[in-house]
Structure 1
């Protein structure tokens, strides 16, 4: 009985070794914007994404209103984590404030928190554009900072009308969002 079990285990290992996964990482896009912040510290909460954008498989609009994924190209990181960290790093480079993700990695509490809820994060093979849209909220706790809520929508041309093109355009869209949020935090 042991030999068939070992043979099945060896077959499963061999099959697993034969599968090659391709993962795409969103390229880092640097902002040239520099902003003097009206606060000393900013926490970016985990970015909320729609179901198709939070999946490991990268989705693409292939016909008007049709979102598909072939399962061959996967995100290099958990999409929500990747967008959160990209937004945090972009804000950190733009603002003259301490910026960190949630959970807050520093002592004390941040002056403000940024909460981003994405309603659309999708490249389109139909239009050759990538769209990032949603709403963000900036709130302060214990400081004199007026809470703010703003909608955003960016349409970015994709270098190619496919999944790699959408991934490349995503980096630009996240930087544009970071620049908009930074302007809301300016003096």
Structure 2
């Protein structure tokens, strides 16, 4: 019967060294940032009643997981080390619906509508630009549409919007992901105000 070979003594330090090298070279953890609704700072009249909000349409660079920004040369850049914590279209839709509701008292819910009684209106938002610009401004522009239910009556509403919010703390420097996330939340809050007031 063949004899079993002893485990080479050199292999153990090589294995240990390999694990140590892997541990030392491990990449930093990915940073995730949230788009969060801001607390309502005013109370507006309820002009919407109940409304279903369709999932918001975003440009490709804003719909991806990586946080995009415009560099000084006009290029849009991003890094896989800094990403959104949630799917951006879903996160923006939920934040916008919640803020409209908190500002005005309207019942605005992201699709699909979960209640037994049908909504009085349907809101659709198509965003063309949602970008941390190189000039230190967050731009949120596009069009929103409000369609009344046949039984509720009323007219269709179409409004263009172009929201600009200063990205706080940049002072000419490139905005950080945290600053971009904060400015996006502020831009969404302003858009919520405009939709709630049909501005």
Range class of TM-score, shorter chain = 0.7 to 0.9
Aligned equivalent of 2:188: 174
Over residues 62-121 of structure 1, what are the superposed CA-to-partner deviations in whole Å (9 max), with x where a residue is unaligned? 125310112210001000000000001101101222221111121131000110000000
Aligned equivalent of 2:35: 26
Give the 3-state SS of the residue equivalent to 2:144 in structure 1. Answer: strand
RMSD: 2.0
CA distance in 1, matches of 2:49, 2:69: 39
CA distance in 2, matches of 1:27, 1:83: 8
Over residues 1-27 of structure 1, what are the superposed CA-to-partner deviations in whole Å (9 max), with x where a residue is unaligned? xxxxxxxxxx9xx79xx4421101124
Aligned equivalent of 2:138: 130
1:89-128 matched pairs, under 5 angstroms: 89-124=98-133, 126-128=134-136
Kept after mapping to 2: 8 A contact 1:129/1:166: no
Aligned equivalent of 2:55: 46
C-alpha displacement of 1:144:
1.4
Give the 3-state SS of the residue equivalent to 1:28 in structure 2. Answer: coil
CA distance in 2, matches of 1:80, 1:128: 23
Give the 3-state SS of the residue equivalent to 2:143 in structure 1. Answer: strand
Q: Which runs of 5+ in 1 are unaligned?
A: 1-10
Over residues 151-172 of structure 1, what are the superposed CA-to-partner deviations in whole Å (9 max), with x where a residue is unaligned? 0011111123423221110001
Larger radius of gyration: 2
Aligned positions, number: 171
